[in-house]
Every structure is written in structure tokens, then in C-alpha cells.
Amino acid sequence: MNQNEQQHEDHPSHAEGLIWVDDTTRAGATSRLQRQFDAIADMTMAKFSVRPFKPFFNKPRLWGMPYGCRVIQHLWGDDAGTVREQCCPIDNMWAFDLFGLHGSAPYNHKCLADICLRYDERDGRIVPDWDQQYQYFSAMRLDDLESCGVLAQPHGRRERGVVALVEERSGLVLPLPSECVVYWAFYGNGSGVEIAVYDGVAMRRRMDRYPEYFDEDIVLNEDDVERDIAGCIEVLEQLESGFLTQPELRKRMPRYPFAQSDRATDTTKTTTIKERN
């Protein structure tokens, strides 16, 4: 058993979870996030640090990003070593600031940024295994950020709406904007790790619409779930056939199995799984 196996032998071989970033301007936000990512690092071969950016207000913009924040990607299926500059201004801006996304797609499930890597131990050091398939997008290089002076110094002035998540083994950096949520997962006893960033406000909206799906104390009824699936399929078929426009989609979302509706005015007519069971 090598050193890494000894370190992680008491941890599960795979796990997943969420980290709610919330408001990065709150006192202690960076420290809280660091503790949460340290807990993931303790179970995996990855290593994280959470660092603030310097203020962006006086920096010129390129492809929607502050100068010095060169956004790159390597997607599944790309040849090993391929690195492309991410030149979509809207995606780049949303990776750093969710305000525009909240307005245009309030129930979105868009992945804003992602790192999915495998690791190996070589010569006593844990390093990314670049020979395996991997992916990252909306990412930056730590060396580039440091050479351009984009990251804040301790006790220095900070950009208020976003922090940098540094994966130390690879030198890749993801932006974590205020109100985002991070989905994390690891597998292979911690040798494979994924960090994916989503719109936390939109995710909470979806969770509030179907609360029983996210309540560990609820035992789901299979008939209710099947009814919900059938209703969703019907809506999707109508949308694909052109019978529903995007504004009409929310009004036609299935009410079962939970009959949750933010438009309902008579709460006595709504039921939940708990009540029907």
C-alpha cells in the first residue's frame, strides 16, 4: 500500500456533493470555502486553495474577461495536450458574474465551468495523469494569473463578486462567482475528481419547485414519480413539436407528483407525497 492509499483508506471510494458559494462579499466567505474544499482534498488526490482576485474595475476587457484572465478549455475527445482559448464573450462573462444569466434563464442548469481530472503518484509526487481522458473549460492557468498580477495579496483590495478556486496539482483555476453552487465528485478512491460550477440561484429555484426530491426523510412513491416523468415527457414533446414557446414552458411544467406551484393561490387544493401517502 503506497502513501496515498494509506492516507485515503478510511474514506469512501466515491462520493459527491454540493458547496453553496453564496455571497463572496461576506466576511469569512473565503475561509469557509477553503475549509469545505480542504474536506474534499482530504478524501482525494486533488489539492485546492481559494484566493481572491484584485478589483477588475480598471482592467481592459478581452472576450468578455478582464485582462490577464485568459480563459481556456480542453474538451472530451480533444487530442492530448490540446488547449484552446475560450472565445465566447457571454459564456466568459457568466463564468465570472451570474447577473445576466439570472435574467435570461432563471431556471437554467448551465454548467459554467468544469474541471475533471485523474491523478497518479509518480516519484513520490501526486500529479495529474495527462495520459488519461480529461476535461476543463472556463478555466485559467495559475501561472498566467500570477504573472499578470490578477490575484490579490493577503489583506489587499479584492474583487467583490468572485473568487478563484485553484487546483494546485494541475495549476488550473476556476472562477467561483457569488451565488454559484459547486458540484463535486470523486471516484477511484480519490484518483478521479470533478469540480463543476452551476448557477446556485437557479438550482435552488428548481429544488424549491420539487422539494420532496431533495428531502432525505421522504420515501418517494413510484407511481407519483412515474406520473411526474410522463408529464415532463409530454411537455418536452410539445416543446420539440413547436406547440410551446419558451415563455409558455414554465406555465406548463407538470404539477405532479408534488403539485408545487408558485402561482397557486388556493393552497388547500395542493397535495404532497407526504399527504397522499
* Per-residue model confidence as pLDDT tens digits over 231-257: 888 888 887 888 777 677 767 666 544
Give pLDDT tens digits for 62-82: 555 666 788 999 999 999 889
Is pLDDT of 203 > 50? yes
Neighbours of 106 (CB within 10 A): 13
Same domain, 242 and 260: yes
Domain count, the chain: 2
Nearest to 209 by CA among 228, 181, 182, 235: 228
Q: Do residues 201 and 238 share a domain?
A: no
Are 124 and 166 part of one and the same domain?
yes
CA distance 7 to 11: 9
Name the pLDDT band for 277 (thresholds 50, 70, 90). very low
**Are 77 and 16 within one domain?**
yes
Q: Does pLDDT of 261 surpass 50?
A: no
pLDDT of residue 2: 44
Confidence of residue 56 (pLDDT cuts 50, 70, 90): confident
Same-domain check for residues 199 and 261: no
Residues 180 and 137 in one domain: yes
Contacts 24+ apart (CB under 8 A), 198-201: 198/109, 198/110, 198/111, 198/112, 199/98, 199/101, 199/102, 199/108, 199/109, 199/110, 199/112, 200/20, 200/21, 200/22, 201/98, 201/102, 201/106
* pTM of this structure: 0.80
CA 225 to chain centre: 26
Q: Are residues 152 and 83 in the same domain?
A: yes
Q: Which of 7-16, 49-58, 78-87, 190-199 has the lowest mean pLDDT?
A: 7-16
Where in the sequence is the domain holding 233, given as residue range(s)? Answer: 211-276
Rounded alpha-carbon distances, angstroms, from residue 96 to 128, 198, 266: 25, 11, 40
Q: Which amino acid type is present at position 265? A: T
Whether residue 128 is found in the same domain as residue 164:
yes
Q: Say yes or no: 141 and 248 in one domain.
A: no
Residue 271 pLDDT more than 60? Answer: no
Question: Which residue, of 170, 205, 240, is where some domain finishes?
Answer: 205
C-alpha cell at 128: 495529474
**Residue 152, CB-side half-sphere exposure with 13 Å CA sphere:** 18
Residue with cell 477511484: 188
Do 128 and 87 reside in the same domain of the chain?
A: yes
Q: pLDDT at residue 213 above 50? A: yes
Q: Stretch 178-190: mean pLDDT, rounded?
A: 95
Residues 15 and 31 in one domain: yes
Over the stretch 134-168, which tens digit does the pLDDT of each residue have?
Answer: 999 999 999 999 998 899 988 888 998 999 999 99
